[in-house]
A = this chain, B = another copy of it.
Amino acid sequence: MTDVKVGPNPLFLRDEELIQGIELLFYAYRDFTGDPDAVLAEYGFGRAHHRVVHFVSRNPGMSVAELLEILRITKQSLSRVLGQLVERGFIVQKKGTRDRRQRLLYLTETGTDLAASLAEPQKRRVARAYREAGAEAVEGYRKVLMGLIGDGSREAIVRSFRRR
């Protein structure tokens, strides 16, 4: 850590690359999450609502527990946001048939519209970046991001992607 640059250190450059990799992630995420804010503000929602709507949109009929696992927040945190979305008619909860303790989550028609208009600016941004970078770069982008994801969740994500 406190090893000062001792002569021509090949590791120094490598360190710099890693930090740039970190900063790129920060900057991209910063700008990317800002995109839907205008839409959210129209509805009086925040980014937490966006995340919920997004993942329910992608996984209709998912359980609360599955959603919590993805978001990595407590149920108390989720409950407020989810409650508002249900109350205002963007999400409905249906008892599971196999396990009736579960409250499976679905978007309403309004919720689907919201999800679409939130996704739109982000898709546009990603599409532009993909187009400018080219298919091969996209492959690398995916590969590295996949490697950045913790071992615990990677498998589930890969599987969910393959189901498409």
Contact = CB atoms under 8 A, between A and B. Distances in A.
B72 A135 contact: no
Contacts of A21: 126, 130, 138, 141-142
Contact of A148 (B10, B32, B157): B32
Contacts of A41: none
Interface in A54-94: 58, 72
Give this chain's copy count: 2
Q: Tell me if A's interface is mostly helix, strand, loop or mixed.
A: helix
A129 to B, nearest CB: 3
Given A20-B161, A130-B18, A143 B150 contact: no
A43 interface: no
A1 B141 contact: no
Nearest to A140: B140
A12 to B, nearest CB: 5
A130 B13 contact: yes
6 shortest interchain CB distances as A-B pairs: A140-B140, A129-B147, A137-B140, A141-B144, A28-B148, A24-B145
30 contacts: A1-B120, A12-B130, A12-B138, A13-B127, A13-B131, A15-B123, A18-B126, A18-B130, A19-B58, A20-B164, A24-B142, A24-B145, A25-B145, A27-B145, A27-B149, A28-B148, A30-B72, A31-B149, A125-B148, A129-B144, A132-B147, A133-B144, A134-B143, A136-B136, A137-B139, A137-B141, A137-B144, A139-B140, A140-B143, A141-B143
